[in-house]
Structure 1
């Protein structure tokens, strides 16, 4: 059968790749979804990228233990074209702890991360299921003030079934069960802790996409409804209690908070490194410009 022009171009392209020593099977096999931390050691991202569709990278364990490979892994994944999210392992024991861990996590995250994950999989001493739900809600509420990227809940199936998280507050769910497919609704399934991937020495967590549309949306993200400009009146009104910060990236809180239905004077709008918009108040404080929390007069 005579080959057309397109066929000849495809064959020529494949031949060129082979001549350069690049395996064409690598492109077809880039379907693995992995999550990694410092425990995977030095990852050869050039090799790992050839078989990896998406990676999820640890940033911290609680608020005090920072993953030593968080930046190396984020930069390696980004350099080799692997889209990635980042996660924090929860150790909060109060609403205040949850809010603090959220701010610490965000301040330590990489700007190239496509989405953020709360890894909430064990009770701290004395924390009930009801309290765990409350703290997870506090975490996701705080993160909504910091970023417009998607927020995902990760947990083991037994723990999630026990706590009964309010998953509607999150943009997706990632459930671990090493013996069977989760019965709980899950977009991503962590099915093994003993996977093997090129470029990584030793075991690595492996995951299977259950809802490709949902997981693809994590990578693409979504636009939270923000005000992009200051109102002509120069005033806004809070719909909920909001916190004031010294900087546009919300890394340093001022100690000031503004209650519900409070009228505030604004001088402008600035965009954070993570893509979220902030109102600049006349006293120099920054607050969220998220329409869920404030309204223009």
Structure 2
């Protein structure tokens, strides 16, 4: 761990390749939230690297920290809910596992892929412990389909969960053809859900925009092409018939490159943001607040989410 001149510290997780910058102030235990609940989840960030078929929640610059000031909804984008404050929303994050308690205006959820080994009982446990929705990885690029998507979709619907899906962006080209091809692949996989599982796909379809080990996303791409490329993908999804669409991004990249540049996107685009902090600090529909959450009775760590939107 070392400090920078901007009151930030670079940390490395012992025994792993994970590292990132967080504000030095996050080493100080926060004051108790209203009602006496103490939030202790820190605002760590990841570098955003992954292998094909994986999912990370980092940013191109390795930082998801920043101002926690509230921001208004962006033009052309529906962003319901509030700023994700533990005390203001009635939602708190406690401990290193990122457990959360949803209020009357929020719901708990999680996102998973083939990296988690899950059974029907796993999804039943999620439902019994108050989780309302799950977002499953379906595709990546223009040809990859997650090996567990259909299996987990059936398990989740059997358990009574609200089920949604995400697609990992596979290429940072600036031309429309690649992003349209990726949208077509995602749509085709979702369209087969009824035949594969007995349940039609009725949820939201998110494009996950983040750097991986293969998509070559850079800071230059974020600054010059990200909003337009997202627009190519989202609009193609709606043209194909998937009207319920959304974007997933890290807090830093949303605030730096996407927010305020969504005029070419469908007006009903949902916003799903990752920020591993005690507060989201901006408006969004879904907040991914930890990647190290645990669920009683299920082995492993999970990305846990809070939704401020009744559609979830």
**Common fold by TM > 0.5:** yes
Mapped contact 2:136–2:165 kept (Cα < 8 A):
yes
Partner secondary structure for residue 86 of structure 1: strand
User: Which of 260, 278, 281 in structure 2 is aligned with 1:183?
Assistant: 281
User: Which of 79, 87, 94 in structure 1 is aligned with 2:166?
Assistant: 87
Mapped contact 2:234–2:246 kept (Cα < 8 A):
no
Give 1:187-198 correspondences, 5 Å limit: 187-198=285-296
Mapped contact 2:237–2:243 kept (Cα < 8 A):
no
What is the CA distance between 1:199 and its match in structure 2? 5.1
Give 1:14-29 correspondences, 5 Å limit: none
Partner secondary structure for residue 201 of structure 1: strand
In our comparison, the structure showing a higher alpha carbon Rg is 1
- Consecutive unaligned residues in structure 1, runs of 5 or more: 1-27, 220-297
Measure, in 2, the Cα distance between the counterparts of 1:146 and 1:208. Answer: 29
Equivalent residue for 1:117? 206
| Cα deviation code 1:40-97 (max 9, x no counterpart) | 1123222222122111111022223321110011010111111111000112323111
Partner secondary structure for residue 310 of structure 2: helix
Partner secondary structure for residue 272 of structure 2: strand
Partner secondary structure for residue 41 of structure 1: coil
Equivalent residue for 1:282? none
User: Which of 24, 33, 38 in structure 1 is aligned with 2:114?
Assistant: 38
Equivalent residue for 2:302? 204
Structure 1 residues 172, 42: closer, same or farther in 2, change over 3 A? same
Partner secondary structure for residue 183 of structure 2: helix
Mapped contact 2:210–2:217 kept (Cα < 8 A):
no
Aligned alpha-carbon RMSD (Å): 2.3
- Consecutive unaligned residues in structure 2, runs of 5 or more: 1-103, 194-199
User: Are 1:149 and 2:243 an aligned pair?
Assistant: yes
Structure 1 residues 167, 147: closer, same or farther in 2, change over 3 A? same
Equivalent residue for 2:258? 164
TM-score, with normalisation over the residues of structure 1? 0.57
Task: Considering Cα pairs closer than 8 Å and 6+ residues apart, tell me whether 1 or 2 has the greater RCO.
Answer: 2
